[in-house]
C-alpha cells in the first residue's frame, strides 16, 4: 500500500494576530519554527514563532 495525503485536519488550525501589522494569521503546528534559549549556559525556555506573510516579522506563538 502507498501512503497518500487525502487532506488536512483543520481541527489543529490555530489563529494569532501579528502585533506589528495587525494581520490575523492562521497556521498549523508544522508551520511553527522554534529556537532553544539559554541564559548563562542554562536552559531558559523555547521561543516559538511563525513569520507574518505581510510584514515579514516574527510572530510569537505557543509551541506545538
Cα 64 to Cα 7, 27, 39, distances in angstroms? 20, 11, 23
5 band by pLDDT with thresholds 50, 70 and 90: confident
Determine the average pLDDT of the residues in 9-29.
Answer: 95
Identify the helix (H) or strand (E) that includes residue 26: strand 24-27
Q: What are the tens digits of pLDDT across the range 23-62?
A: 999 999 999 999 998 888 888 889 999 999 999 999 999 8
Please give the pLDDT value at position 55: 98
DSSP state of 31: G
Asked whether 16 and 27 are in contact (CB, 8 A), the reply is: yes
Which carries the bigger pLDDT value, residue 20 or residue 39? 20
Domain ranges (residues) in the chain? 14-60
64 band by pLDDT with thresholds 50, 70 and 90: low
Amino acid at each position: 500500500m502507498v501512503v497518500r495525503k487525502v487532506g488536512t485536519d483543520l481541527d489543529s488550525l490555530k489563529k494569532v494576530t501579528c502585533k506589528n501589522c495587525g494581520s490575523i494569521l492562521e497556521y498549523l503546528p508544522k508551520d511553527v519554527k522554534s529556537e532553544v534559549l539559554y541564559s548563562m549556559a542554562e536552559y531558559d525556555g523555547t521561543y516559538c514563532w511563525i513569520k507574518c506573510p505581510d510584514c515579514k516579522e516574527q510572530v510569537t506563538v505557543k509551541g506545538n
